[in-house]
Structure 1
Amino acid sequence: MASSMAPPPGCGNIDPDYYFLCDVCAAWGIGLETLAAAGVLATLILLLAFFVCSCMTKDKNKKNVIPIQFLFILGTLGIFSLTFAFIIQLNKKTGLIRFISFGALFALCFSCLLTHASNLIKLARGKPPLSKLSMLIRTVGLTFIQIIIAVKYAILTVERGGIDLANMGREQRNKDFVMLLIYVIALMFFTFIISMFTSCGPYKSWKRHGMHICITLLFSIAIWSSWISMLLLSGVPSDVDQSQWDDPLFSVALVANGWVFLMMYTLPEICFLTIPHQSEDYPSEGILWKSTARQQSVEAGSTHAPDKEGAEDDVLFPPNGTGFQPKNPETKPNFSIPRAMLHPAYRQEIMVHCEAKRQAK
């Protein structure tokens, strides 16, 4: 759009690149701008609620996931904010922002979901969960792979090649854009597969968290499949400029996926963040309780039953099974049994021996 042209209705004396933000004739810009702004506001409100609920959380396993959930909410906030870079017309600055930020933000969100799903698989099967540091390292590491890919493309293609993304051919630019997102697409599908395994295991309370991730990825795959197919397979209508075809497509994908992240994952996870501790949710504690109870029962069976006078004495079980031997006080027996478990024929003799032993003392 030439700078000498009169501003469209609704726009004042501003740069032509920002006309879609105020042009009432191009309603898609105003509509998507409104949805993106509403998404930013909703994300900030949920972020505040997340801080409040995280301070009230007493569950250690849920506290360990709070850092990556915080990164996920920040990534969602960035996705809504990036929508404005696609409403503003493509130029040298917005081109780099689009190519680098789009994949990096989605890689961050999908990495958070993948790490959370991997942790849920362990909890649902009764295995020790991942540590907080381990989950952070995994999330940041998976995100940096996409950042390195995008920055390398920008350095080799844009800077060294001297190619202006705004003047690049539409078909080639769209192909490069999708090629840069191959890692993110693979990450999204892999996270969806991992999230399905969260339903395996005896501890059902953790499975609902995995269901949030699975549903979120299912809607995300549908959105990505739609916009990539339209971008690469569908042609531009003859009466529509290419910028008015591609830009709304990217913007709709960003806004739709952002709202899916909020409604399908962030909001339910915040609601479940403050649920009280449930004993059946923690197999490690349950196994520990059973082990302790079993050990106490064994110890109770090996204690000595008091006699009628209230005295207790350890008795070695006779090795040949035909007699008894009083315990040597200087030698610790290898195995002791309660007096009540001895044969009745030996009970009187044992009591006489114990009485003589007390009188001797």
Structure 2
Amino acid sequence: WKNYSNLSVMIKLYLVLQKQTPGEMGSTSAPKGCGSNISSIYYNLCDLTTLWGVVVEAVCAAGVMTSFILFIILMASLPFVTDKKRKGMVALQASILVFTLGLFGLTFAFIVDQYSTSCAARRFLFGVLFSGCLACLVMHALWLSLLKRSGRGPRSWLLWLGALSLWLVEVIINTEWLVLTVVWSPPGEIVVPDLSCSIANKDFVLSLIYVMVLMVGVVLLAFPSLSHKHQQWRRDGAFILATGVFTIAIWVVWITMYIHGNRVAGNPSWDDPTLAVTVALNAWVFLAFYIIPEICLLTTQEDPDLEEPHDGEHVYPARSLTYDSTAPQNLYIENKSFSMDETPEEPANSTSPYGIYNGQLRSGVYQPTEIALITKG
């Protein structure tokens, strides 16, 4: 009887999920803005009566184009970057642009209705794409903290490998979670199609704990760089901190609405719009608060360490490089101080006031005169 009861439950679940197959066309006519030959699962992309899908679709399309243009600008700016330290961050910024472009593409999976492919993409790519962006921000913030403490940070390829390692952790977590809950099933049980769409909202949020840890890491690591001695590095820390704070605020709002708010409002069907708006809005936060300011600073800022003179380098005063053609007598008097104590007599046919200078040094240290510096230059 126990097996029979489990079999009845599985059959009921199968009949419910069969209603979500992508090939099924709605019995009603197509909504305004959609053609009659379009499947019902794509109605949100063209339905002019609800509008939320059309608006989010337009915002994501603009985000895709913006991300692509920014990526081209970032790559084209590399030959003109004078700051080697800032140039080393280009790999992380290019990676964030790729992940942000993926977030805009993922939004379309939340606009269309649920079926096996879209649900699997939602469950796997949501955490993977967000963790990729946040891992790069964590490594950039860590680099700024190390730069403040020791005066130099790790090399760019080490930072990129660190971000890759942090990102692969979420990839492994989501892969195992997807395999255990969708692909693998105990022997002897009925395989239910579209099982990836039957996940509870709380389970979906709990699968993103690692992404939330990365958010907190971004904020905590960005704080020390706000007190850096150079203003341009303080700006980088402020950009990272603003991105992390806005990301946390967005996630607090959507998690509250996704788990509790939509059901209290009596409209659980707004779960998909909530996630679609979250992904699109957060992707624009990555562009507006981090990528665009960093690209603007990429070619306009110079290395502050190059502006300071190196230790041990002797810099002659500015007045020693000035030649006053109106007062040759003063130069003559100063040059006499560099001659030997036993000054030879001035030749009778000498016309130059510098003829008595024999070129010998007064001591073992070379002391150039103004005219010697000008002649050498």
- The answer, yes or no, to whether TM exceeds 0.5 is yes
- Which one of the candidate residues 61, 69, 74 is aligned to 1:50? 74
Please give the alpha-carbon distance, in whole angstroms, between the structure 1 residues aligned to 2:209 and 2:242: 21
Q: How many Å apart are 1:201 and its aligned residue?
A: 3.0
Written as runs of structure 1 = structure 2, the 5 A alignment for 1:199-348 is 199-236=226-263, 240=267, 242=268, 244-278=269-303, 281-282=304-305, 286=308, 289-290=310-311, 292-293=312-313, 308=341, 310=360
- Which one of the candidate residues 45, 52, 71 is aligned to 2:95? 71
Please give the alpha-carbon distance, in whole angstroms, between the structure 2 residues aligned to 1:98 and 1:167: 9
Q: How many Å apart are 1:200 and its aligned residue?
A: 2.6
Please give the alpha-carbon distance, in whole angstroms, between the structure 1 residues aligned to 2:290 and 2:211: 19
The corresponding residue for 1:151 is 175
TM-score in terms of structure 1 length: 0.76
The corresponding residue for 1:346 is none
- Which one of the candidate residues 157, 162, 165 is aligned to 1:141? 165
Residue pair 1:91, 1:165 contacting (<8 A) in 2 also? no
Q: How many Å apart are 1:19 and its aligned residue?
A: 1.1
Please give the alpha-carbon distance, in whole angstroms, between the structure 2 residues aligned to 1:202 and 1:239: 53
Q: State the superposition RMSD in angstroms.
A: 2.5
Please give the alpha-carbon distance, in whole angstroms, between the structure 2 residues aligned to 1:99 and 1:151: 10
Q: How many Å apart are 1:58 and its aligned residue?
A: 2.2
Q: How many Å apart are 1:9 and its aligned residue?
A: 2.1
Q: How many Å apart are 1:192 and its aligned residue?
A: 0.7
Please give the alpha-carbon distance, in whole angstroms, between the structure 2 residues aligned to 1:201 and 1:215: 17
The corresponding residue for 2:368 is none
Please give the alpha-carbon distance, in whole angstroms, between the structure 2 residues aligned to 1:258 and 1:221: 13
The corresponding residue for 2:207 is 180
| In the alignment, structure 1 residue 112 sits paired with structure 2 residue 133 | no
Q: 1:28 to 1:311 in 2, by over 3 A?
A: closer
Q: 1:74 to 1:195 in 2, by over 3 A?
A: same
Q: 1:165 to 1:252 in 2, by over 3 A?
A: farther
The corresponding residue for 1:9 is 32
SS of residue matched to 1:55: helix
Residue pair 2:262, 2:270 contacting (<8 A) in 1 also? no
Q: How many Å apart are 1:239 and its aligned residue?
A: 6.4
Tell me how many residue pairs correspond in the alignment.
Answer: 297
Q: How many Å apart are 1:282 and its aligned residue?
A: 2.1
Moved more, 265-274 or 204-213: 204-213
CA deviation vs aligned residue, 1:271-312 (integer Å, no higher than 9, x gap): 00002424xx228x84x812x248x9xxxxxxxx99636577
Q: Counterpart of 2:98 in structure 1: which amino acid? A: L
Please give the alpha-carbon distance, in whole angstroms, between the structure 2 residues aligned to 1:220 and 1:276: 27
Structure 1 gaps, min length 5: 297-304, 315-337, 339-361
Q: Counterpart of 2:148 in structure 1: which amino acid? A: A
Q: How many Å apart are 1:78 and its aligned residue?
A: 0.8
Q: How many Å apart are 1:221 and its aligned residue?
A: 0.8
TM-score in terms of structure 2 length: 0.73
Please give the alpha-carbon distance, in whole angstroms, between the structure 2 residues aligned to 1:269 and 1:205: 10
Q: 1:313 to 1:44 in 2, by over 3 A?
A: closer
Please give the alpha-carbon distance, in whole angstroms, between the structure 1 residues aligned to 2:97 and 2:361: 68
Q: 1:307 to 1:265 in 2, by over 3 A?
A: same
Please give the alpha-carbon distance, in whole angstroms, between the structure 1 residues aligned to 2:47 and 2:243: 34
Percent identity of equivalent pairs:
33
Please give the alpha-carbon distance, in whole angstroms, between the structure 2 residues aligned to 1:145 and 1:238: 36
The corresponding residue for 2:217 is 190
Q: How many Å apart are 1:313 and its aligned residue?
A: 8.1
Q: How many Å apart are 1:265 and its aligned residue?
A: 0.7
The corresponding residue for 1:39 is 63
Please give the alpha-carbon distance, in whole angstroms, between the structure 1 residues aligned to 2:301 and 2:265: 59
Q: How many Å apart are 1:179 and its aligned residue?
A: 1.2
